[in-house]
Structure 1
Amino acid sequence: MSQDLIAAKRYAKALFDVARESDRVAQVEQELGKVIAVLNENPDLFKLIKHPGIEADVKIGLIKQIFDADVSEVVINTLKLLIQRRREETLEAFAKAYSKIASDALGQASATVYTPVELSEAELGTIAETFGKLTGKQIRVESVLDKGLLGGIQVRIGDRLYDGSLAGKLERLHKTLNQSQAL
């Protein structure tokens, strides 16, 4: 694990502890998501924030100017700390680490659903409910269109992949047939 990732997780844990004390875990997660979304939508701004040749005070001024109205003081102060400690490169990893810690604490998990066709909100709701029962967590579903799938569905929750795709079923059938022939 890289030093940047380790540092990102430490900062995320520290922010989580502060957010939990003030009962704002979900709010801080949303605010971090908003910050990362704005930075990703404006790649030049993100490059500027990450650039090692630009003074920390200039970067902090930009962060305050852009996010002060939409983001709580605790998030601004954490971003300030990351910049002062030259950890700007870890912003995305930091936000992901915080999201994971917060989701675990709130009994939530994110699922990415891969399908060859667009799913309705009702179908996504059914998937969330089914996998919620399976994992014991409240599932947030993100749908991804994957034209490479012949049919069926794949669901990724964390590091685990639930493969109900046609290709996955054929592969399992192939393995089963090969095993039965070996006997």
Structure 2
Amino acid sequence: MYFAALLARTEDGWEASDTELDDVETLSDLTDLARENSVDDDTVLVFVEQEGAWFGIVRVEGEEDPRIYISDASAAARSSYGEILLTDELVGREPGSDDGTDLDTLDLDGTEDGEPAEVDTGAQDEDGIDALDPLPAGPLGDRTVLTDLGVSEADLRQMDSGDALGEIAELLGVAEVLEAVR
């Protein structure tokens, strides 16, 4: 089950709205959606969560490039919504490269459970990443995406994927606002 919400900072605090990602196909589409919900080019946070498997945060401020954090890149890679966040730049590959991380070749329909594949190749690199699955089974992206808002890198890394967005909202002081759209 997926949940997606936008949190837009305003003069009076944060406003939340749930959002459908059915019409969002790229990070650019998601960024445009966030900017449409921005008040005076202020901060907009996009929360995406696949219950129990992974969560992602996209931070959009004005015309700056979005900042992205994903709790488990390997699980997100098996999700159509995660695929939106796993850009070439984020995963460290050249656009159009054929390095085994071509997410377009996966059959994703948005109903994936995000469970790690039970494939043991025995071949891992120095970081313990499976040679056939080059995305880490762990965090990827900007780990300081929420630091200035009161959520440290350590806090973010310790989040339980089961209700990470609720925990983050609590640390941001906007739990009631987020719960109103759940």
**Band of TM-score, shorter chain:** under 0.3
TM-score (normalizing by structure 1): 0.23
* TM-score normalised to structure 2 length: 0.23
| Larger helix share, 1 or 2 | 1
Larger Rg: 1
Structure with the bigger percentage of strand: 2
